[in-house]
């Protein structure tokens, strides 16, 4: 009888362990720990830039990665912080376009999707891309007689090294960009405020400080 009880207890523990393992696999496992302060700071800065460019009657249009299949906690934290700032400012959020991407491919918005968003947005609105700037083909760029909405982009990793951001600013395809510094700080952000965290790793580029592009990165993604 005692042996039978031991066997039942062991069986229950094995079942519970198997269920826990399945849950971890589906959710991506424990994964490496991340410090959310930097990602909150990034989302907040992008939101502040959007609010500064938003005009009466305009909307904020968001392009971000869909993390429902390929998990990306950093992206989720950035987006949550972004929406929190917009909510406090009572800004109107229009369309949110979430794109599923292969995590092994470079992060970028399909040019056709970006083109349609630009063409369909008003001059009072702001497009905020968490997936880089609009990288349009020459034929697509020719379709835009005027870039009406303001565009803000998060350009992380090597993107600013591989893309002529200065040209995008000159063409009106960017109003503000958050780019990775050449030597981002590698340290804990736990005891620093969001402004310090952001400044150690990223640089905010606008038309007023384009010369600062010479000091941006780019770090290994």
* Residue whose entry in the numeric block shows the structure tokens 């599923």: 100
How much is the mean pLDDT over the chain?
Answer: 81
Q: Exposed, middle or buried: residue 12 (CB in 10 Å: 0-12, 13-18, 19+)? A: exposed
Tell me: do 164 and 189 sit in the same domain.
yes
* 26-56 residue pLDDT tens: 333 434 457 788 899 999 999 999 999 999 9
Q: Is residue 105 part of a domain?
A: yes
- The rounded distance, in Å, linking the Cα atoms of 81 and 24 is 26
Q: Which of 215, 190, 176 is nearest to 47 (CA)?
A: 176
Q: What is the pLDDT of residues 81-127, one digit of tens each?
A: 999 999 999 998 998 999 887 766 777 899 999 999 999 999 999 99
What average pLDDT does the segment 9-33 reach? 43
What does the pLDDT read at residue 22? Answer: 39
Count of domains observed in the chain: 2
Q: How far apart are CA 126 and CA 89, in angstroms?
A: 15
Q: Range with the lowest mean pLDDT among 17-21, 125-129, 139-143?
A: 17-21
pLDDT at position 4 is 58
For residues 78 and 71, which has the higher predicted lDDT (pLDDT)?
A: 78
162 in the same domain as 68? yes
Spatial separation of the C-alpha atoms in residues 168 and 136, rounded to whole Å: 10
Say if residues 149 and 129 touch (Cβ distance below 8 Å).
no
Better-predicted residue by pLDDT, 210 or 197 = 210
Share of the chain above pLDDT 70, in %: 76
Q: Residue 151 pLDDT > 60, yes or no?
A: yes
Here the CATH number for the domain that contains residue 104 is 3.40.50.2300
Percent of the chain at pLDDT > 90 equals 53
Do residues 115 and 186 both lie within one domain?
A: yes
4-29: average pLDDT: 44
Alpha-carbon torsion (82, 84, 90, 94), positive or negative: positive
Q: What is the pLDDT of residue 168?
A: 94
pLDDT at 190 over 70: no
Same domain, 41 and 73: yes
**14 Rama class: left (phi>0) / alpha (psi -120 to 50) / beta:** alpha
Q: Cα–Cα distances in Å, from 81 out to 32, 39, 40, 96?
A: 21, 8, 5, 15
Q: Is residue 74 domain-shared with residue 14, that is, in the same domain? A: no
List the single range of 53-57, 71-75, 164-168, 212-216 with lowest mean pLDDT.
212-216
The DSSP string of 61-87 is EEEEE-TTTS--HHHHHHHHHHHHHHH
């Amino acid at each position: 009888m005692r042996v039978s009880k031991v066997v039942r207890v062991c069986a229950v523990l094995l079942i519970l362990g198997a269920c826990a393992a399945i849950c971890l696999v589906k959710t991506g496992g424990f994964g490496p720990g991340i410090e959310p302060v930097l990602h909150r700071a990034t989302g907040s800065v992008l939101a502040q830039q959007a609010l500064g460019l938003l005009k009466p009657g305009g909307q904020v249009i968001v392009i971000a990665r869909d993390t429902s299949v390929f998990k990306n906690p950093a992206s989720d934290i950035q987006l949550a912080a972004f929406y929190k700032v917009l909510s406090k400012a009572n800004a109107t959020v229009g369309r949110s376009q979430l794109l599923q991407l292969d995590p092994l491919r470079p992060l970028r918005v399909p040019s056709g999707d970006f083109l349609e968003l630009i063409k369909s947005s008003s001059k009072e609105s702001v497009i905020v891309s968490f997936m880089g700037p609009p990288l349009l083909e020459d034929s697509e760029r020719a379709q835009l007689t005027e870039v009406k909405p303001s565009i803000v982009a998060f350009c992380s990793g090597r993107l600013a090294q591989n893309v002529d951001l200065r040209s995008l600013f000159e063409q009106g395809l960017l109003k503000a960009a958050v780019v990775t510094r050449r030597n981002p700080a590698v340290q804990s952000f736990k005891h620093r405020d969001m402004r310090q965290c952001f400044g150690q790793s990223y640089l905010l580029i606008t038309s007023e400080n384009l010369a600062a592009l010479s000091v941006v990165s780019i770090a290994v993604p």
